[in-house]
Amino acid sequence: MIVARLFPKTSSNYKNFQPFFQRLGDKMDSGGWVRLFSLWALIVAGVVLNMDFEDRYVYWRWNGWEFGLMKLFFATVFYYYFLNPNNLWIIGSKRLETNEIGLHMGVAFILISYGNIGANSLIPYFVGIIPYLLAFLSCLLVFQFSLTLDHEKGTWQCFEWKKVKQHFSLSLFLMILSVLLGIQLDDPIMSTAGAVSVAFPLVGLIWPNHVRHLQRARFFPLFTFSMFLCVRAPWFLIPIAILFFAIRIINYFRFGIVYPSFGVDFLDE
């Protein structure tokens, strides 16, 4: 990361900036900024589904970016002032109970439907939403295993591996099912992004209890779907890039680590 080169952890500037970013990081944690990635991806999935419904061969279309960004803005405000304070969107922070998983599925359905509504289609495409919900549930099961940062080592650890094989097996099944439905519905985004994402719960199932495989299974499916969504809605690259690098910079000055990152820890717990 360029910031790490400009401000080495041993430099005086790094230490001077650290208190400011520590305070900003505390606000980031309480606001749950990192969970905006999943929230935004669900909304844009609805937007892209609407684009596919209108034109099967749409590609790299900037038209409607104002409407799309406006949707993300209002959803973010709703998240910050309602969902997050009431613990209605807490993916990755703890192991969810069955009713909490159902609640998150309901919110995910609302988010996709909200994104799917357009000027020419006021009623969401409910059938097309189903495979995206299945893919979301597949990823949600992987997020049942929370990662904790070891501040001294700068590595991530998972202390609760209960029912890991069951969760990864069901996650794999749901992702495969979402791909098959995507193919049946002639949805290239769902079928292709889902096919790529199948590998991550599969690897986690073959080698369970490995932190690095859990990290990949949590991060890369979300990243994969986001990038495939950007193929049709390239304007989505702007907000996710801003959020991605903002969180990276804040965490670097707080903990001296580069996170979120495409790299993973290689320490197995």
pLDDT at residue 269 above 70? no
Assess if residue 263 is contained within a domain.
Answer: no
In a domain, 265, yes or no: no
pLDDT of residue 152: 63
- Quick: pLDDT tens for 113-126: 999 997 677 788 89
Note the pLDDT tens digit of each residue in 42-85: 999 999 999 987 787 888 999 889 999 999 999 999 999 999 99
**Among 3-12, 49-58, 76-85, 206-215, which range has the highest average pLDDT?**
76-85
> Which residues make Cβ contacts (< 8 Å) with residue 105, sequence separation at least 6?
133, 136, 137, 140
> Is residue 268 one of the residues assigned to a domain?
no
Provide the pLDDT confidence category of residue 242 given band limits of 50, 70 and 90: very high
What is the tally of structural domains in the chain? 1
**Residue 138 placed within a domain:** yes
Question: Is 36 within the bounds of a domain?
Answer: yes
Q: What mean pLDDT, rounded, does the chain reach?
A: 89
Report if residue 226 sits inside a domain: yes
State what percent of residues in the chain have pLDDT above 90.
Answer: 67
Residue 261 lies in a domain: no
Residues in contact with 53: Cβ distance below 8 Å, sequence separation at least 6, in sequence order: 121, 125, 128
Q: Which range marks the domain in which residue 170 is found?
A: 2-54+65-255
Q: Is residue 264 part of a domain?
A: no
